[in-house]
Structure 1
C-alpha cells in the first residue's frame, strides 16, 4: 500500500470520527434541552430546574416523562442525590 494513501486514509478516518463525536454530543444536548424544558415547564424556579435536569440528563442519558414523578422510568435519574441526601434531579 502506498504510504501517502495510507496516511490520507488515516487522516480521513480521524476527521470523520471527530465529526461523528461532535454530532453525537450535539444530539445529546438537543435531546436534554427538549426533555428538560418539558420536564421543567411548570416548575416554580425554572432556571434551577433546567440546570439540574440538564446535569442529570447528560450523566444519565434519560429524563422521566411528564413534569413530575415517573422517576421509575430512569433509575439513574431517580437515584442521584445531593450532599444532603436529597434527590438531585427534578
Structure 2
C-alpha cells in the first residue's frame, strides 16, 4: 500500500509488516523500517516536538536535511499514518 505523506512517501508491505521509505521532503531514498524503528523515530520526534529550531535528520548517514518545527509536526502525522498500518 502506497503512503503519500506531506514529508515522506513510501510503500507499506503488509505481508512482511515493513515500511519502505522512498522520499523525505524532495529527496529520494530507500530504507526499510520495521515497527520498532518507526516507533523509535516517532517517540523521539514526539518528545522533541516543541523544539523551536526543528530537527535535522540524515539520509544515508551523510546528507543532513533540516526540518522546521512545522515540518517536524507534519512528519509526526505522516509517521502516525504508517504506524496505524502495522499489525
Shorter chain as denominator, the TM-score bin is: under 0.3
Structure showing greater relative contact order (alpha-carbon pairs closer than 8 Å, 6 or more residues apart): 2
Answer with 1 or 2: which has the greater Rg. Answer: 1
* Larger fraction in helix: 1
